[in-house]
Structure 1
Amino acid sequence: MKVTRHAASRRRRTSRRGPWTTATAALAATGVLLCLVMALRPDGGSDPGRTVAAPAADAPSSTARQKPSRSPSPSPSPSPSSATPTATSGASPSKTPAATPGARASASDPARAVVAEVPSAGRIRPGVTYRGLATHYDAGDGDGACLFGPSDGLMIAAMNHTDYETSKACGAYIRVRAVSGASVTVKVTNECPLPCAPGQLDLSKQAFAKLGALSAGELSITWSLLSPSTSDTVAVRYKTGSTQYWCGIQVVGHRNPVARLEVRADGAWRPLPRAEFNYFLSEQGTGCGGALRITDIYGEQLQLDGIPVRADVLQPTGVQFRQH
């Protein structure tokens, strides 16, 4: 009977709680249903437990909410100092290929052409500052290892053997600066043999005097390549003894150092080797008296036709490389 009484009492307490339990369950079910409805609404409702990316000013708000992970903040625009300029010629920047250094348009001049690659400038390169010593020598009439002949002026220099580089430096214009700040522009017409060290320039006495007293003997200097203004035009000279069977060809009066000389033979351009004495040699006579193509260190080419073999005669062409 005791057991029955406890059971009856427990059933009564249960029966008294029945209506409240039913009401609570109904409210809970209603709450779950309401949450589901809110979650399924297009605008998603507000959710204090989630951060939603703010939409862009000109974008629909639904797009920003539906694809927050695919709409990252745009990268900041580069500052003017870090932006890379793009060469344009009437085309959009995205379709304009990178310009080849040294390339120059020359469609209006049939004697000029543009190459795809800039030839090697050798040891002396544009935009590089070199260090060394300046010494001086008696330049006489200005002739030297480059075999240009007497110079109109004596602002000239002999390049050290290493940087002379088998006459690649011949005709180069060099700006020389002393520690004092004094400077002079010289043209390379000669070679300073060993033991002249790399970077050393042996200047004419007239050029050295622009930097310091001749009694100093030598000066610490820096120097760099120039592409000067000039009224001269390129000329071609065949070496003494040249014929159609053997010839040496020299370029004179060029603004920029010459990187290559080619002759036309068998329908193709063939480069000629360059000698220490600044002539391009055709040992078998290939191309002697025919078309020539001269390339400077910036990649510009001058094509010359009708230059006959006339030994030791300076033949003007009327053309010149561009200034850089």
Structure 2
Amino acid sequence: MASSSHRRRPRPKPDRDFDWRPVRGPLAAVAAVAAVALVVTLAVAFRPGAAAGATGQDRAVSGSASQAVPSTAATPKNPSPKPSPTATPTRTASKRTTPSASVTPSAAPAKRPASSTTGVSTATTTAPAAGRIRPGTSYQGVATSYDVGNGDGACSYGPTSDVMTAAMNTADYETAKACGAYISVRAASGTSITVRITNECPAPCAAGQLDLSRQAFAKLAPLSAGRIQITWSLLSPATSETVSIRYKTGSTQYWCGIQAIGHRNPLARLEVRTSGGWQALTRTGYNYFLSEQGAGCGGEIRLTDIYGEQLTVPALAVRPDVVQRTGVQFARH
């Protein structure tokens, strides 16, 4: 018989004309057995899950199958493949971002290795730190001449026997940023010379104008010409010279002025190592970088040229007005 948890199908109501009174004797016994047989048959026939012609084993297999097959509504149409546990992730090189130049050089010359690799980082050819004077760009102007005397000038390099020098107009001098730059100067005749900027030419010198030493001017035109039309551009020349450092007169560990001399390319920045890291010093119009509070005086020095290349100079003693060689040089461009 079925478990008590299953509901039985209700019996049919008795017919009013049928007499259900008990029958005595053998007929009553037969009727009782028949009634019991009918009840058992009905209980088996109406058990939940029963099916005509299905055995108990068949029903068990059918139930297992229905539980094993997942609902199609719960299965995504295009399941994403799982990553392989042995796969190596692809690295994306970070790009480092270079500021756009306001003037694009007409050509980027090939780089050459620096004469010394001490503290040298990779140089770029886009001159991210260039000022008004940019590599690969030609400038129009006029050339005049002046008597350089002992060769000293606003850049404070001191007396020199080198007469192939020039004074840069104030606009392009740019607070001594042009100091030490090598410039190729070409006259209308096609003759060209190379000069180094050691001085500033104040007004009435106009933007684009170069005031050449008399010796340099004479190689382009007679001194009697007075003024000539020129084109000029920045150079990164071959040189066997290396960078030197000089502390300004009066420098101590509490206040100092630092100057770089003999750099191949224009200098964009000078920094000193402090307890808090690298600290950039302010450049003066007379071409010294000042540490007003003495930070970094006598410590490591880091130089950056207009191409972004950096040279790290080991700590040097604070020896005022003494040129100290470093043995390093910027790369040629």
The equivalent of 2:177 in structure 1 is 168
Partner of 2:224: 215
Give % identity.
63
Matches within 5 A, 1:19-34: none
Note closer, same or farther for the CA distance 1:254–1:244 as it changes in structure 2 (3 Å cut).
same
Name the structure where helix makes up a greater proportion of residues.
Answer: 1
What's the secondary structure of 1:163's corresponding residue? helix
Cα deviation, 1:234-272, whole Å, max 9, x if unaligned, reads: 000000000001000000001000000001112411100
Q: Which residue of 1 aligns with 2:166?
A: 157
Task: Give the AA of the match of 2:314.
Answer: D
- The answer to whether the Cα contact below 8 Å between 1:103 and 1:298 also exists between their aligned partners in 2 is no
Number of equivalenced pairs: 230
Q: List alignment gaps of at least 5 residues for structure 2.
A: 1-91, 99-107
Residues 96 and 273 (structure 1), Cα distance of their counterparts in 2 relative to 1, 3 Å cut? closer
1:293-312 equivalent positions in 2, closer than 5 A: 293-312=302-321
Query: How far, CA to CA, are the matches of 1:146 and 1:226 in structure 2?
Result: 18
| Structure 1 spans left out of the alignment, 5+ residues | 1-93
- When residues 211 and 114 of structure 1 are mapped into structure 2, their CA distance, relative to the original with a 3 A threshold, is same
Aligned twin of 1:112: 120
> Per the alignment, do residues 103 and 307 of structure 1 end up closer, same or farther by CA in structure 2, a change over 3 Å counting?
farther
Shift of residue 178 of structure 1? 0.5
SS at match of 1:162: helix
- The answer (yes or no) to whether the contact 1:175–1:185 under 8 Å persists in 2 is yes
- Equivalent residue for 2:267, pick from 230, 234, 258: 258
Q: Structure 1 110/207 Cα, relative in aligned 2: closer, same or farther at 3 Å?
A: closer
Once residues 197 and 113 of structure 2 are traced to their aligned partners in structure 1, the CA distance between those partners, rounded to angstroms, is 29
The structure with more radius of gyration: 2
C-alpha contact 2:165 2:216 (8 A) present in aligned 1? yes
Q: What displacement does 1:114 show?
A: 3.8
Inter-partner Cα distance in structure 1 for 2:171 and 2:327: 33
**Pairwise CA distance, 1:305:** 1.2
Name the CA shift for 1:154/1:281 in 2 (closer, same or farther; >3 Å). same
In 1, Cα distance between equivalents of 2:112 and 2:193: 29
Query: For residue 281 of structure 1, what is the amino acid of its counterpart?
Result: L
| RMSD of aligned residue pairs (Cα, Å) | 2.5
Greater displacement, 128-137 / 115-124? 115-124
Which structure has more relative contact order (CA 8 Å, sep 6+)? It is 2
Q: Are the aligned partners of 2:272 and 2:295 in contact in 1 as well (CA < 8 Å)?
A: yes
1:249 alignment partner in structure 2: 258
C-alpha distance 226-307 of structure 1, shift in aligned 2 (>3 A): same
Other-structure match for 2:16: none
Q: TM-score, normalised by structure 2?
A: 0.65
Structure 2 Cα separation of the partners of residues 129 and 168 of structure 1: 18
The TM-score with structure 1 as length reference comes to: 0.67
Evaluate the alpha carbon distance shift between residue 110 and residue 180 of structure 1 in structure 2; reply closer, same or farther with a 3 A threshold.
closer
Cα distance in structure 2, aligned partners of 1:249 and 1:213: 39
Residues 199/295 of structure 1: CA separation in 2 closer, same or farther (3 Å cut): same
Residues 1-324 of structure 1 mapped to structure 2, 5 A cutoff? 109-114=117-122, 119-324=128-333
Once the two structures are superposed, residues 260-285 of structure 1 have per-residue CA deviations (whole angstroms, 9 ceiling, x without a partner) of: 00011124111001000000000110
Match of 2:48 in 1: none
Letter of the 1:304 partner, please give it: V
Contact 1:236 1:314 in 2 (8 A): yes
Query: 1:226 offset after TM fit, Å?
Result: 0.1
Q: Is the 8 A contact 1:264 1:292 kept in 2?
A: yes
Distance 1:173 1:153 in 2: 13
